[in-house]
Structure formats: structure tokens, C-alpha cells
């Protein structure tokens, strides 16, 4: 079973025991985190799609670590003006280990096993 979730403006395909890197999340290493924005859920041959999100479905995970991404340089140069500017940026990231995909209930209100 795997799911497609939305976190930090990006979409991630996740399954149990996956490790993903997302934009920074509040919490310390070892804390649990829940992603409620599930766009699609696939269990074998059956696929459920949300419009835009699936009701009741969620993905749980544990924060492993906080880190910073690689340095990205923004360089601007105006030719023949003796003008240039160089700025660097490092994005704050959170490493999350997915512990489970919870399908929630289907349209009849029954829980999927």
C-alpha cells in the first residue's frame, strides 16, 4: 500500500518504512507527525482518488532529524554597469520516516483493514 501526500507545497509518493525529506516541520527528533493531505491511496489493484483530498485517510511518521539543504547561490550581474550581487541560501529541511499509511473509512463509513 502506498499513498501520495502533499506536504510543504510538494507531493510525495510514500509507503511504510520510507524516509522522505520535507520542508521544515515543528517538533524535535522522535516526535510523531501526521499528514492529512492524502491525494491518492493505492492498495494492490484498488486506487482511491481525492477531490482534492481523501476523507479520513492519513499518513503517520516520525521525525528523524532536522538538517539544512545545499547552498544555492543567487547571482545577479548587470553588464557594463560594474554592478553585481551574490546571495546564498540554505533551506531548512526535516527528515521523516513513514511509519504507516492509514486508509480511513470508505464511502459507506466502514474502515478498511
Number of domains in the chain: 1
Please name the residues in contact with 10: beta carbons below 8 A apart, sequence gap of 6 or more. Answer: 22, 23
Distance, in Å, from the CA atom of 97 to the CA atom of 19, rounded to the nearest integer, reads 4
Task: Answer yes or no: is 112 within a domain.
Answer: no
Confidence check: pLDDT of 84 > 90:
yes
Task: Answer yes or no: is 111 within a domain.
Answer: no
Secondary structure class of 108 (helix, strand, coil): coil
Burial class of residue 96 in the structure, from the number of CB atoms within 10 Å of its CB (0-12 exposed, 13-18 middle, 19+ buried): buried
Reading the block at residue 14, the C-alpha cell is 510514500
What is the per-residue pLDDT across 16-37, written as a single tens digit (0 to 9) for each?
A: 999 999 999 999 999 999 999 9
Structural domain boundaries, residue 15:
2-102
pTM for the full model? Answer: 0.81
Amino acid at each position: 500500500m502506498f499513498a501520495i501526500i502533499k506536504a510543504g507545497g510538494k507531493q510525495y509518493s510514500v509507503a511504510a518504512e520510507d524516509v522522505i525529506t520535507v520542508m521544515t516541520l515543528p517538533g524535535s527528533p522522535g516526535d510523531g507527525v501526521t499528514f492529512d493531505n492524502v491525494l491518492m491511496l493505492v492498495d494492490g489493484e484498488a486506487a482511491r482518488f481525492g477531490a482534492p483530498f481523501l476523507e479520513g485517510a492519513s499518513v503517520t511518521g516520525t521525525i528523524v532529524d532536522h538538517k539544512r539543504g545545499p547552498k544555492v547561490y543567487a547571482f545577479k550581474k548587470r553588464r557594463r554597469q560594474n554592478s553585481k550581487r551574490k546571495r546564498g541560501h540554505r533551506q531548512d529541511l526535516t527528515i521523516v520516516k513513514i511509519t504507516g499509511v492509514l486508509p480511513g473509512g470508505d464511502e459507506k463509513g466502514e474502515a478498511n483493514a
